[in-house]
Amino acid sequence: MTGSSALMAIGHILMCYTLFFSFHANKAFGYGATVVESNKSHAPPSCSGTTTGLRVVHKYGPCSPSGLRKTSAVASQILVQDKLRVRAMNSRLHNRRTIGLEGEGTTDTYLQNDLPGAGNFLVSVGFGTPLQSFNLALDTGSYVTWVQCEPCTESPCPQQQNASLYYPSFSSTYSNAPCSPWCNYTQTYLDKSKSGGVFVLDTVSIGQDYQIPEFIFLCAVPDKETGDFGEADGILGLGLASSGDEFATYSLATQTANLFGRVFCHCLPSSSNSGYVYFGEKAREQCPFSGTYTRLLRNPVSGDSYYFVNLIAITLGQKKVEVPSGILSSPGTIIDSGTVITHLPSSVYSELSQEFDRLMSEFPPANPSDDGVLKACYNLVDQDNLAIPEMVLHFENLDVNLDQTAVTWKGNDDMSQVCFAFAAKENEGDVTIIGNHQQQKLNMLFNIPDRRLEIGPGKC
């Protein structure tokens, strides 16, 4: 990969951030169903969850710093952004260049290696001295950390600060990154928008426990015409970098290898709670070994660019469906915190959605999601004692019971559109992706040196 293509990829992430359960049963479904009382209260939920570690909040929950709510329009927007991210990831793996939305004349609008996404989960990270905190999207699918900023290129530097921007010149610990000639970049996109920035070096504070001096990250400049980058101020990149990537040494895992040992754990919350990220020994302590793990595998095509695992089968209620080996070549499944909805081979999705429809047959159907990603949807307004079929992901050497909130997706607050929260892959050659909606309330411990992924019940 050339330096320019890598910079295109990182730059377009910035632009893309501007876009931004349950079943009734008067009689039980039998084995593999969890019954929950419906909550008809319209009182705003309180923010609860852990107070230790690096706190993770849902962008549309009560813990969100922006105070946004997940309306039907927001839910639709999330799914549109998610579709683009999935296409971008497969574009990167297959060297494809066409991933725009249908009907928009968007061929080649998003170039290879671009990774747009909804950025649903936010963490607060401090930059510079004195420390200034920013809300970054947590992303295991990208490895460069960036924050929107305003570098000072003219003298005198501005005295008035925008609280949403990092100002390198105002930090006493800032310096230029040793990345010549690729520190500076600009990128113009086919829709005429622009993004650009510079790699810088400064102290970064992660949670209350760690200050990392001389950390290299991307100082991304907002385009004055298109505005800022959305609710997220940037990205905390927890992903892997292939050895051939131009900026592989700038990944958080590499820069903190001596401090954290390339080990971290996260628990992604439901929208009503907060979660956490821990690093190094604290990750091992707070996300204790459950006794089993699945291997982190190297994909023969992409190398170590994503966290690949071997997904063998999925069980919904009493029905177990085998997952065929990826056409791309096994392993063909990615664990990704930046993708929302899990995307499955069409044959697997078809069997599971038919079983979902069978279990839901007594309820009125609802329209599919606006973007067509979620097709099996039902109207569950005023339904009491909602029964949610249990769902299990069967990985190599590891079975993972999903939380009940991970099985369905609510298109709005009134339960009039409750959908099976899985989608079919657009192309059979695409990778299977386990999205963040299915990772909710699970401890996910990534042990990169030992190439292990441990998954167990979380406390978020």
Catalytic residues: 139, 336
Strand partners, 294: 453
Question: Which one-letter amino acid corresponds to residue 355?
Answer: E
Of 456, 418, 448, 388, whose CA–CA distance to 28 is shortest?
388
Rounded to whole angstroms, how far apart are CA atoms 126 and 203? Answer: 8
Strands 175-176 and 48-49: unpaired
Separation of alpha carbons 355 and 348, rounded Å: 11
Asked if residue 278 lies in contact with residue 286, where contact means CB atoms within 8 angstroms, the answer is: yes
134: enclosing H helix or E strand: strand 132-139
- Contact predicate 234/220, CB 8 Å: yes
Query: Which residues pair with residue 184 across a beta bridge?
Result: 198
Contact by Cβ (8 Å): 148, 220:
yes
Q: Can you state the angle between helices 72-94 and 3-16, rounded to 10 degrees?
A: 170
Find the radius of gyration of the CA atoms of the chain.
22
